[in-house]
Structure 1
Amino acid sequence: MRPARPLTVRFVLVAVAVLAVACQSPPAPPSGKAVALRVELYGGGPLPPGWVTFPEFVLYGDRTLITADGDAPREYHLTEAEFDRVYGRARSAGLATGRTFDEQSPDAPVLEVVFGHDTGRAVTRVTAPDRKSSGDAGAIVRAVALNPDTDLESPHERYRPERVAVVAGASSGAPTGPRWPLRPLAEGTPLNAGRCAVYAAAEVRDIRSDTTWTSGGTAYHVRLRPLLPDEDDCAALARG
């Protein structure tokens, strides 16, 4: 008969086993306004001066989901089941570990996915994303594609940001357009070969995106970019 292990040894072995199981547990979602899932598609090549992108959608730990919809992004408040379905699908696709799928196509679009959890985040990039492709890259593209009929059954409203970024690109030629009514556009923060400044949403409510203004003797093409709950300033809008 084999002698019984000492109690302390058995205790250590059990503790190690419990720790191993805990380490293998899937990551838990973040809480509050921390990003749980952010999906953004960048076009191939550099952005034109003054351009800035908006994510396909961003899901937060408090189950708020904001999706792109032209000039009027939508805001949803998902049920627990809806959140678990969207977040769980991304987790099952292996997005808790950041990866890069590079097709060696410099002018191809890039899908960037940020997967947030309770201890950090992972970033995955897929060059030339294709929902029909096989392998892990195709599975990721499919996993982060929202299905309005099953994923977004909750009612939505127009997203109303507290702050808006004004991104301006200087135009060539003679100054055209009305005079810019706020602080000079040239004083903004450099961003994508243009200038960016952040205002309270009420300050720019009468300004339309994709319009031309004159500021300091220069014509600027101006675009408005609503800031998301996790975006503090213009630096958050830098590509990639």
Structure 2
Amino acid sequence: MTTLSVVRWAALLPLVLLATACAQQEDGGGDAGPVTPTYPDDAVVLRIDQTGGFVTPAVALTRLPTVTVYGDGRMITEGPTVLVYPGPALPNIQVTNLDADQVKQVIERARAAGVGSAGDLGSPQVADVPETRFTLRGAVGVEKTTVEGLDAPGTGLTAEQQAAREKLRDFAAWVPELAAEAETQPYRPTAVAALAEPWVANDEAGPQAEVAWPGPDLPGTPVGTTGLGCVTVTGDQVPRLLDVAAKATAATPWTSGGKRWTVTLRPLLPDETDCDDLTSAG
């Protein structure tokens, strides 16, 4: 190499190094800091639900999560309940749209509250209390934390256990408050699970008009040893069922196959498809 070539190469070397560094930054080769994970639209980012407790099999199987936050920002909660007896046939399910920053905040506050990392949370000395289950999807995968009797008195718990429970309790109360800060709309399901059992007259409910069942034949597939059957209403039958059920009550005798049935309706959430999702959730 001649002296002139060496001089020219020495002059060009800083430019070559600068161009290489810029290319590495554009290609993500540099340190870009932590990356916020993205999720499929119907992926559950956070769910708080309850299992167990002293309830009937129909209630246990159709119980709605307290709150579910999805990857696209939808947050589904159960709205206010009408204090009448018998109650409405359909639960009041509401959907709120959170933005990306709010979803990120939910994840961060869940971790700060101990979801996925809480240690010994103890067991209060109270019988037949439900368990509150926190499910969180983050960069490290799906993590779950289950607390027995989260709202029960602190009898039999250490100070550390009570403090850890308080953090989870505060978080569980905070998440639904996001719905109060945004516009909510009624949730319109694309499928409804229906748990059926033979109808029995109830004097307290008073006379109830029969309603023809607009879905698949009842009682459907047996659910274990509960005495219940389950069918999944889909397609064009869903809007017909929702219209009829809006005028029915929890004590309405539904007629199918020449018999009368008590039917507990459970609109399925975006990550659910059929009765199996209810029977496997506990």
Q: Which moved more, 1:67-76 or 1:56-65?
A: 67-76
Secondary structure of the residue aligned to 1:139 is helix
Tell me the number of residue pairs that the alignment of Structure 1 and Structure 2 aligns. Answer: 215
Once the two structures are superposed, residues 130-175 of structure 1 have per-residue CA deviations (whole angstroms, 9 ceiling, x without a partner) of: 39963212211211223666564222211111111122222347xx
TM-score normalised per structure 2: 0.64
* Cα distance in 1, alignment partners of residues 55 and 210 from structure 2: 27
1:194 matched to which residue of 2? Answer: 228
Equivalent position SS for 2:197: strand
1:40 alignment partner, one of 42, 49, 60: 49
Alpha carbon RMSD of aligned pairs, Å?
Answer: 3.2
Quote the residue 1:144 is aligned against.
172
Pair 1:235–1:89, CA change in 2 (3 A): same
CA distance in 1, matches of 2:126, 2:108: 30
Correspondence for 2:99:
79
1:59 alignment partner, one of 69, 72, 77: 69
Residue 224 of structure 1 deviates from its aligned partner by 1.7
Distance change in 2, residues 1:149/1:185 (3 Å): closer
> Aligned residue for 1:5?
none
The whole-number CA distance in structure 1 between the counterparts of 2:177 and 2:213 is 43
Per the alignment, residue 127 of structure 1 pairs with: 148
Larger Rg: 2
Query: Which residue identity does 2:261 align to in structure 1?
Result: Y
Would you tell me which structure has more strand in proportion to its own residues? 1
CA distance in 1, matches of 2:278, 2:35: 30
> Could you tell me the percent identity over the aligned residues?
28
Conserved in 2, the CA contact under 8 Å of 1:82 and 1:152?
no
Unaligned 5+ segments in structure 1 are: 1-24
Looking at secondary structure, tell me which structure has more helix per residue.
2
- Tell me the alpha carbon deviations over residues 159-215 of structure 1, each in whole angstroms, 9 at most, x when there is no partner: 111111122222347xx9344343321233526541211112224123325222233
Kept after mapping to 2: 8 A contact 1:49/1:169: no
Preserved CA contact (<8 Å) 2:58 2:264:
no
Q: In 1, distance between residues paired with 2:175 and 2:140? A: 28
| Secondary structure of the structure 1 residue equivalent to 2:137 | strand
Selected match of 2:133 from 112, 123, 130: 112
Determine the C-alpha separation between the residues in 2 that align with 1:26 and 1:47. Answer: 45
What TM-score do the two structures reach when normalised by structure 1? 0.74
The one-letter amino acid paired with 1:86 is V
